[in-house]
Structure 1
């Protein structure tokens, strides 16, 4: 549903909702894999004993077979590795961007670089900077330059690089969230487009600036967020249309879906806790005890404890 949400909702709202969905879905995915994979401990009696659990009881009551648990554990390890690689690469990229930002002339929000290649992007930092090449300035007229700068200011003001980081890490943890990552990046560019249109008071002007900047710049690797990012034709089409209406029912549906995800995760964690409580000696559920009668007429639990059962009297634990 992420691509549809990015197109139909107001961009700032779509960005926030997709970011929340990415965090909830990524965390839920990892937690579910972890809980299922952890049941594999019943295959290792020594490890189970270290935790104070009975491997036999775990094996008897675990709702999944060990092959399923093993696959879940392997997937979780692979996802953790992908997350570590993503954190390392994104961290390096952000450090390079901040270092580059500190190397620019202090006290200036906009840095003009003498470069014939058209380019413009926002560098995260404290403070962030907007970098524009002389080639990009020559490709746009004065009003279009104003729209471009307004676009990049929105990226810096709302810290869109943090949103991008969240989307990217969620996609690294769970490959099924890659469409959310792409939709989120598109929503962020649309967010900057819409605020630029408000700032300059001319939606067609921002559409022209985006289109001309994209045609001039092509697809060059960048350190920061750029006006030419995302699917440009869709962005231009959205700018030439009226602003998207408020669709509150989609927000309510999103909130309900996030609540269902959260509640289901809590219930799963409670089931997991109950499973391991049952496997703890001395905390076995009455319903799971198997009673037998010894030759003297006493009931004996599976734990070896006797229960008095005198003739004519109900048995008491």
Structure 2
């Protein structure tokens, strides 16, 4: 195979470098889409290349495919050590991706089940708990859960911001974006910074949506900071399904405020504008990944055709 077909294994390193700048400089909704789709494309590309490098060298696969393993080795004399390494990496990627799919499906099921167990059909559920907390849970219907501790920490205008933020999570199906990015990161650990960036951009997306609804970016910034401080000073919060999302961020159970300072600073700054150069750069990397993956598939097809004749 040509050297170019192995480039999808290297492109995720570019995504690691670009993830933070893209999450800061692009409009959050577009940044979320680009980072999520980009991570999935890069994960598919790298996993496909590993699979192609490994499968054609397995004797059982050669017997089933009716081609000569000797011809394959002669036409593509890649060292067996490289093939073995690719096999190990592919096994790890498939195992990690399978575990992640199972965990995400279970989390979504638990979230939907818990949301359905709340009484009534009203999307807003108020829990009588002193700890300040607020989050959105996907389900049929999706629920916005707010504790009395959080409500008492905010005034009427800030409560409106809180509800607008949580509604944005539900309407935008943000849990699907985080799930996609985390699945890609499980398949290719190099993409973990991209998944982290997506958890940030979905919160920024909800922040900006709340700012549009309320019409006051400073009020939204103040509410985000105030809610985080209230949660930090409160008692330990309940354990939530991984699919739940809220104004405090996804990692609120392990960290005090997460990326809240970045979100507040972004809200106090002018609304972000999309930069054409960054978009072109991302498009070029994704196009190159797709082309290299297709090149790998085409090379494999030609190689197997020759091996069948040999």
TM-score by shorter chain over 0.5: yes
**Partner secondary structure for residue 56 of structure 2:** helix
- Alignment of 1:262 with 2:290, yes or no, is yes
Query: Higher Cα Rg: structure 1 or 2?
Result: 1
Q: 1:70-149 counterparts in 2 under 5 A?
A: 70-149=84-163
2:246 corresponds, among 211, 226, 237, to 226
Q: What is the CA RMSD across the aligned residues, in angstroms?
A: 1.4
**Separation in structure 2 between the aligned mates of residue 168 and residue 186 of structure 1, nearest angstrom:** 13
Q: 1:45-64 counterparts in 2 under 5 A?
A: 47-64=61-78
Residues paired across the two proteins, number: 279
**Separation in structure 2 between the aligned mates of residue 39 and residue 49 of structure 1, nearest angstrom:** 10
**Separation in structure 1 between the aligned mates of residue 301 and residue 61 of structure 2, nearest angstrom:** 17
Contact 2:50 2:89 in 1 (8 A): yes
**Separation in structure 2 between the aligned mates of residue 48 and residue 110 of structure 1, nearest angstrom:** 58
Structure 2: 5+ residue stretches without partners? 1-17, 250-257
Contact 2:55 2:61 in 1 (8 A): no
Q: Which has the higher contact order (CA 8 A, sep 6+)?
A: 2
- Return the TM-score normalized by structure 1: 0.85
1:40 corresponds, among 48, 57, 66, to 57
**Separation in structure 2 between the aligned mates of residue 143 and residue 252 of structure 1, nearest angstrom:** 40
Contact 2:28 2:205 in 1 (8 A): yes
**Separation in structure 2 between the aligned mates of residue 78 and residue 57 of structure 1, nearest angstrom:** 28
**Separation in structure 1 between the aligned mates of residue 276 and residue 198 of structure 2, nearest angstrom:** 19
Contact 1:39 1:69 in 2 (8 A): no
2:43 corresponds, among 13, 16, 26, to 26
**Separation in structure 1 between the aligned mates of residue 182 and residue 77 of structure 2, nearest angstrom:** 33
Moved more, 134-143 or 100-109: 100-109
Contact 1:118 1:136 in 2 (8 A): yes
- Alignment-derived partner of residue 12 in structure 1: 29
- Alignment of 1:247 with 2:275, yes or no, is yes
Shift of 1:85: 1.2
- Alignment of 1:213 with 2:227, yes or no, is yes
**Partner secondary structure for residue 162 of structure 1:** helix
**Partner secondary structure for residue 116 of structure 1:** coil
- Return the TM-score normalized by structure 2: 0.87
**Partner secondary structure for residue 144 of structure 2:** strand
**Separation in structure 1 between the aligned mates of residue 144 and residue 63 of structure 2, nearest angstrom:** 59
- Alignment of 1:271 with 2:291, yes or no, is no
- Whichever structure has more helix as a proportion of its residues is 2
Shift of 1:47: 4.8
Q: For the structure 1 residues 95 and 279, does the alpha-carbon distance in structure 2 shift closer, same or farther, using more than 3 Å as the test?
A: same
**Separation in structure 1 between the aligned mates of residue 134 and residue 20 of structure 2, nearest angstrom:** 26
**Separation in structure 2 between the aligned mates of residue 148 and residue 192 of structure 1, nearest angstrom:** 10
**Partner secondary structure for residue 135 of structure 2:** strand
